[in-house]
Chain A
């Protein structure tokens, strides 16, 4: 199942990321995880948050450039080969990864990988058919409580 991720354009200047975090805190949105992608001149910060719509509105109102995209949050079995199996499933389905980042869920009990694929719907189908667990919006919301 896909979940919503917010992405924010990051200028290469001091304090930009702290402004973004402060805006989210004022809107009472918690950050479940974030990942930074950058070049020498600008970056993109991607976040999974407790309430993506509230976050989007607050950030846009504060003048930031935001968009919302769907990603898959996949739980990875905590044993040797756990990750390899998932990758092989995706390889055989011919799905490509645009980007990915990891975080620990429920106080480190589970490793979760966030993926953006070139074909998210297809990837979700393949993973679910193989019994791989993906997190849904409700689980994300609850984890932030």
Chain B
């Protein structure tokens, strides 16, 4: 075991005690310094001293993404600028961004969390880690960068894009692990194919560390089959720190670093806490974060915490199910609840198409127009109209089988759906005002 992984196995009692101690420090700190939190506590009639046991946390008010937007830029900042060493921002596609100032300690805790994920995946200081997440305001690049350095990996900070050069560096420098969005890695696979590069034969790549967008088990299977890497899931969000909040040990779920980030699951309707094992919305309280502390931040991610210690690796830190759906990703189409991940699952059953898609919803005078744009792969193209029509019908049948609706399937050219930071905007909903 790598020494950095020692806290992963902390005895439960000790862990709960530590969490309570940290909360009893953090909650008064935020109450004292963040006006919005103080006002909400006062309105609810709860004081920091009411936090006597971990269960008492449920008495405190929630924080939401809209609060971060409303309080932009520095309304939720608890530390003086003298202590802030770095900003991260998440661009809002609608209106204002959110801004997260970090202290030196915040950055170190985050690096620790990410390094523990990497160690759990089996990386050591012998590994060459290519960070192909975007660097900048986005937390992906710098998050993995600092985590990789903390573990002692040789970090190759390529950022996203310029894929041919990435592949050259990957071979020349012997990259063993790549961190990026799963959709960017699919693009890397496509470009490698075009250049005649076989990952198994021509590279030393063994690990893929993927996150920053929801991806399905089917996508994981496809990535592993095509590239030969072991695909590891990394979870995180800018509001809490960035990637590294949780990672998978191979058990099919993700261990949450509970000594830094305290998780709860609540019913998304009633907001009441749910016991381990039940599915609901994931809520985090940061235990070691002082630039922008968060008490009970609603992630909008739907998952559950598995009860008990992980049978696979013995880590005591609780496992959450992989997040394949975000509560605010849910679309209501023709009166039916649809998650984009369901569309992805359907599309991955059709080998001739790339799992790159975009859902477009457009209002009409009657039923909303529901279209799915799907990228064709060059290999699947024959010059026969009937063959393409048949392919389109198979895509439709696969989607229909899962969601029960009949969208219009539009075949488009490979790499034609717009990507930014390696992510495709999965949904264009023109119905919204």
Contact = CB atoms under 8 A, between A and B. Distances in A.
B414 A63 contact: yes
Contacts, number: 52
Contact of A46 (B383, B413, B415): B383
Contacts of B382: 7, 67
B376 A65 contact: yes
Nearest to A45: B383
Contacts of B150: none
A9 B410 contact: no
A53 interface: no
Given A9-B411, A11-B411, A60 B389 contact: no
A41 B385 contact: no
A63 B384 contact: no
A88 interface: no
Contacts of B414: 63, 65
Interface string A62-100: 011111010000000000000000000000000000100
A64 B411 contact: no
Contacts of A39: 385, 389
B388 interface: yes
Interface residues of A, number: 22
A111 interface: no
Interface residues of B, number: 18
A101 interface: no
B342 interface: no
Interface in A1-19: 5, 7, 9, 11-12
B40 interface: no
A39 B390 CA distance: 12
A9 B385 contact: no
B384 A98 contact: yes
A41 B392 contact: yes
A37 interface: yes
A63 B354 CA distance: 14
A38 B385 CA distance: 7
A133 interface: no
Contacts of B388: 9, 42, 44
Q: Which of the listed residues A7, A44, A65, A69 has the most CB atoms from chain B within 10 Å of its own CB? A: A65
A33 to B, nearest CB: 15
Contacts of B411: 9, 11, 41-42
A11 B416 CA distance: 10
B383 A11 contact: no
B378 interface: yes
24 contacts: A7-B383, A9-B376, A9-B388, A11-B412, A11-B413, A37-B385, A38-B385, A41-B392, A41-B408, A41-B410, A41-B411, A42-B411, A44-B383, A60-B378, A63-B414, A63-B416, A65-B376, A65-B378, A65-B413, A66-B378, A66-B381, A67-B381, A98-B384, A116-B383
